[in-house]
Structure 1
């Protein structure tokens, strides 16, 4: 049961410390509302849920990487910068994929 307690604590830290995560939650909420408004199919819900989950998970991992790098060094180091930049880029990749999934799902409903 402690695993859930620690995970919940991690979620609270993420919500308080990472404003980008809140932005992703806002976009996820908008997408979910659109899903209900357009009455998308079960298969489309699966793809949207997967895309939203990936973006949120990668943002959480990015925040964790940044915290670990900051713990290890407060001085500028190229390897620390690279770790942070690469973690941030992973969020960009899954965000682009999520946008593409959203476009594929919602365009037929919008242009009907």
Structure 2
């Protein structure tokens, strides 16, 4: 078996190409990601409107990234589960529920971050 040698640079270019393709697929085919992106955009508009500080921006962007990452991983886990077992299966359902629970943790964290940033400005 012959190993095909690729240069470091061309290997990285391929990796980035696959990552961009995955990003594009997520934002164009996954409704949950679309919803999260809309919410993220609204929170950014609110951030500009409320003139949040650089530190608050940092936490808001990290919270948004956390939710989008969790949602993306959940989508990948669900796709793998559906590929492995297209029929209903209790164990697959358990795995999907756990992955969805991780998204809930991320979303609740983002809500708390948002509350810490915005509630004092609104009260």
Q: 1: distance between equivalents of 2:24 and 2:103?
A: 20
**After the TM superposition, which parts of structure 1 deviate over 6 Å for at least 4 consecutive aligned residues?**
none
Deviation at 1:110, TM superposition (A): 1.3
**Which residue matches 1:5?**
17
**Which residue matches 1:40?**
52
Query: Could you tell me the TM-score, scaled by structure 1's length?
Result: 0.95
Q: 2: distance between equivalents of 1:35 and 1:103?
A: 12
Q: 2: distance between equivalents of 1:17 and 1:82?
A: 24
After superposition, the C-alpha distances for 1:80-100 in whole angstroms (9 at most, x for unaligned) are 101111101110111011011
Query: Could you tell me the TM-score, scaled by structure 2's length?
Result: 0.87
After superposition, the C-alpha distances for 1:51-85 in whole angstroms (9 at most, x for unaligned) are 00000000000000001001101121111101111
Structure 2 residue runs without a partner (length 5+): 1-12
Structure 1 residue runs without a partner (length 5+): none
Q: What is the DSSP-based 3-state SS (H/G/I as helix, E as strand, rest coil) of the residue aligned with 1:59?
A: helix
Larger Rg, first or second structure (1 or 2): 2
Match of 1:63 among 51, 54, 75: 75
1:96 and 2:108 aligned: yes
Count of aligned pairs = 111
